[in-house]
Copies of this chain bind each other. A is one copy, B any other.
Amino acid sequence: MEFEALKKTPVFQALSSIGKRIYQPNGIFYWSNRAKKEAKINATIGTAVGFETDIIDGGREKLLTYYLPELKQYINLPPEKFASYAPIAGIPKFRDLWEKWIIYKGKNAINLPSGTINVSGKITKPAICNGITNSIFLVSRFFLNPGEKIICPNKRWGNYNSVLHLQNELEIETFQFFKDDKLNIEGISELMLQISKVQDKIVLILNFPNNPTGYCPTKNEIQDILNSLKNFCDSSNKPVIIFCDDAYEGYSYSDHRVGTSIFYELIDLHPNLIPIKLDGASKEFLMYGGRTGAITLGINSSWLSSSEKEIFLQEWENKIQGMIRSTISNSNHFYQEVLIEIMNLGFEKMQESRNKIYEILKKRYFASINAFEKYKTEGITMDPAGGGFFVFLNIDKIQADKFADHLLLKYKVGTFPIVSEKEEINGIRVAFCSIPLEKIEETFRRIRLTLSDLS
Q: Which of B28, B34, B70, B73 contacts A408 (CB 8 A)?
A: B34
Is A158 located at the chain interface by the 8 A CB criterion?
Answer: yes
For the complex formed, measure the closest distance between the CB of A429 and the CB atoms of chain B, giving whole angstroms.
Answer: 8
Establish whether residues A41 and B443, one from each chain, have CB atoms under 8 Å apart when the complex forms: yes
From the candidates B45, B74, B289, name the one contacting A84 in the complex (CB within 8 A): B289
- Is A71 in the interface zone, CB < 8 Å from B? yes
Please indicate the chain B residues that have their CB under 8 angstroms from the CB of A44 in the complex.
Answer: 414-416, 431, 434
**A1 at the binding interface (Cβ < 8 Å):** no
Count of A residues near B, CB < 8 Å? Answer: 117
- Which chain B residues border A288 with CB–CB below 8 Å? 47, 65, 83-85, 333
Task: Tell whether, in the assembled complex, residue B291 and residue A329 are in contact, meaning their CB atoms are under 8 Å apart.
Answer: yes
Q: Which of B38, B76, B350, B436 contacts A63 (CB 8 A)?
A: B436
* Minimal beta-carbon separation of A197 from chain B (angstroms): 27
Q: Are A328 and B25 in contact (CB under 8 A)?
A: no
Complex CA–CA separation, A99 to B445 (angstroms): 46
A69–B287 CA distance with the chains assembled, in angstroms: 11
Residues of B within 8 A of A43 (CB): 413-416, 430-432, 434-435, 443
Within 8 A of B (CB), among A112-138: 130-134, 137
Interface pair A289/B82, CB less than 8 Å apart: yes
Give every chain B residue within 8 A of A454 (Cβ-Cβ): none
Q: List 26 A-B contacts (CB under 8 A).
A: A23-B166, A31-B404, A31-B408, A38-B414, A39-B413, A40-B413, A41-B413, A41-B439, A43-B416, A43-B432, A43-B435, A47-B288, A47-B434, A48-B360, A48-B361, A48-B434, A55-B357, A68-B350, A68-B354, A131-B328, A134-B328, A137-B327, A290-B334, A291-B328, A291-B333, A334-B334
